[in-house]
Amino acid sequence: MPTKSPPEATGARRPQDLAKQRQELAKRHIRRAAASVMALRGFSATIEEIARAAGVSARTVFRYYPTHDQLLAAGVREMLSALGEPIFDLPEPERDLDGWIDRLMLEAHLRNSEVLGRAFWDLSAPDTRTSDELADACGRRRPVRMQWMDYITSRSWAAAGGTGPAPPSLLEVFALLFSAFTTNSLAVDFDHTPEQSAELTASMLKTLLKAAVDRAAG
């Protein structure tokens, strides 16, 4: 006598699973809206502005993020996640070091401009009056960024012919030229687009990298 398969066997989902999935999708949609508004308005972004960008009511936003700081913290985490998205078609530095640096630098300045935007200033110097949750989200930026800078510096150093660990001063050069401080300074003082900033800083980085390798070789 045939028996009815359990929902798990047929691929059917329980109502509570579907409800949870819808909630997670809604929260992700709101987080992304928060990140996009914060890129334009910094931490001055309001719940109402984010709700409009998400296409939902402020009441819906409050349902998932009860306070303004919790919403901003979610937006910060979304930004940091977007900054770490993989870069496709990236050449291997051992085969094409110039192409590796050019591509990384272009993505860095584009993301500094489009993903972080004005929120960078609040992220790098958060108000001491913010909640612990928002301060914790902001505090994640530096260690994640420096981990990436150390990785990129080490790979570039080795590909350029450097031996042993890269000099600490070279890490500082990489961190500076990839920084949103540099993106904003070149945009404000010289009207550079992210593409122009990438071209300039990539050229500088290649020159300084070669000089560092030559010095180390004696």
String of DSSP letters for 72-128: HHHHHHHHHHHHT---TTPPPTTT-HHHHHHHHHHHHHHHIIIIITTHHHHHHS--T
Report the C-alpha gap between 202 and 115 in whole angstroms: 20
Report the C-alpha gap between 110 and 92 in whole angstroms: 21
pLDDT in the model for residue 1: 43
- Spell out the domains of the chain, with CATH numbers in brackets: 13-82 (1.10.357.10), 84-217 (no CATH)
115: which residues sit within 8 A by CB, 6+ positions away?
Answer: 35, 39, 79, 82, 83
pLDDT in the model for residue 214: 96
- Successive 10-residue mean pLDDT values, the chain, 218 residues: 48 69 88 96 95 95 94 95 91 96 97 95 77 90 93 97 96 97 96 98 98 93
Q: Are 71 and 58 in contact (CB under 8 A)?
A: no
pTM of the model: 0.85
Report the C-alpha gap between 86 and 107 in whole angstroms: 10
pLDDT in the model for residue 11: 53
Q: Work out the number of other CB atoms within 10 angstroms of the CB of residue 62.
A: 15
Containing 139, the helix (H) or strand (E) segment is: helix 132-139
